[in-house]
Amino acid sequence: FEEHSIQSVRALTHPGEECWTALPKVVYDNADEREDHLSILMKGIDRKEVEPTWHTLSKSAFKFLCLRRRTVMQGFNDLTEKIAVTEFASDFEIAQK
């Protein structure tokens, strides 16, 4: 990376390693409900291995949720640790921009 003076990286995450869903905002607002839904969606995967990212939608009664495994994201982080600015995005996030 240093040889090529790379200052930033924007990487597309693999869709097969993500889970996307829309949930009522009341689920997001209530910690117990939120954790129950995460547990259902990521059945069999330890909670500390789950990286949730919440997105606001135009319909404020709902939130859009992306779930990724921390181990997958750590692999991306390991590859880009010497780069000052890194951004990881899914197809959905790229389409928003």
Domain boundaries, the chain: 17-84
pLDDT-derived band at 22 (thresholds 50, 70, 90) equals very high
Q: Which pLDDT value is given to residue 34?
A: 94
Question: How far apart are the C-alpha atoms of 17 and 24, rounded to whole Å?
Answer: 23
Choice between 84 and 33, residue whose per-residue pLDDT is larger:
33
Q: From CA 31, how far away is CA 46, in angstroms rounded?
A: 17
Q: Which residues of 38-65 are buried (b: 16+ CB within 10 A; e: fewer)?
A: beebbeebeeeebebeeeeeeeeebbeb
Query: What span, in angstroms and rounded, lies between the C-alpha atoms of 33 and 17?
Result: 24
Q: Which two tokens stand for residue 73?
A: 């994201």
Instruction: Please write the tens of the pLDDT for every residue from 25-67.
Output: 999 999 999 999 999 998 888 999 988 989 899 999 999 998 9
pLDDT for the residue 1: 55
